[in-house]
Amino acid sequence: MLMEIRGPKAADAKMGLEYINALVDEGAMIGVIDRSTLAQEKKIFRQMAAGNKAGKRIDLFAFENKMIVGSVKLEFLPEQISPHIAYLGISVAKEYRGKGLAKKLYSQAEKKARKSGIERIYVKAYAENKRAISFYKRLGFIEVALLEDEIKIGDWREDALLMGKKIVQ
């Protein structure tokens, strides 16, 4: 695989739009249900690039053939009270799953997080997202709490599983 992994640039918005909308169309359990627009993605990528530059978050994208094929984000909690905590979000394009890409993206993000003073990473998964839960367990995350009824989309309700990993000893 000829793949580049790097942080976001404002100019990546169009690729970002195709990537996120493919996940939405697939019904991937990523916490986004509406298709995005180019204007929205431009704003998101501008903010993401600025947030990375300011050391307030970490985002990494995997690119192949001028497409985004995977992404990982670590959003830091407010510096004043929890400068050591980050929340994770991760996804890989359907055709690229099962090849170790998410693991690679995560481990690069975790390494950067450690250098930024992050000590614990949390992630929230839909309780029915067995694939993601197995994936997080493989990375060393443990179950912290079952958040009953956390998701409510129209009439549909679902529990979420909060998982966590201590990344420093």
Ligand X SMILES: CC(C)(COP(=O)(O)OP(=O)(O)OC[C@H]1O[C@@H](n2cnc3c(N)ncnc32)[C@H](O)[C@@H]1OP(=O)(O)O)[C@@H](O)C(=O)NCCC(=O)NCCS
- Between CA 83 and CA 6 the distance in angstroms is 24
Is there binding between residue 20 and ligand X (CB under 6 A)? no
Least separation in angstroms between residue 160's CB and ligand X is 9
Phi, psi of 53 (to 5 degrees): -65, -40
Which one, of 17, 27, 103, lies nearest residue 68 by Cα? 17
According to CB under 6 A, which one of 29, 49, 74, 121 is a site residue for ligand X?
A: 29
Residue 103 as a binder of ligand X (CB under 6 A): the answer is yes
> Residue 92 or 109: which CB sits closer to ligand X?
92
Cα–Cα distance list, 64 to 2, 6, 14, 61 (Å): 7, 12, 14, 10
- At 19, is the secondary structure helix, strand, or coil? helix
Stretch that binds ligand X, among 6-14, 76-84, 98-106, 140-148 (CB under 6 A): 98-106
Q: What are phi and psi of 101, to 5 degrees?
A: -70, -45
User: Using the rule CB under 6 A, is 27 a contact of ligand X?
Assistant: no
Nearest 10 degrees: Cα torsion 1, 138, 52, 15: 40
Q: How far is the CB of 66 from ligand X (least distance, A)?
A: 20
Q: Binding to ligand X by residue 135, rule CB under 6 A?
A: yes
**Residue whose C-beta lies closest to ligand X:** 102
68 belongs to the binding site for ligand X (CB under 6 A): no
Residue 79 CB, nearest approach to ligand X (Å): 25
Shortest CB 90 distance to ligand X, Å = 5
Note the residues at the interface with ligand X (CB under 6 A): 28-30, 90-92, 97-103, 125, 129, 131-132, 134-135, 138
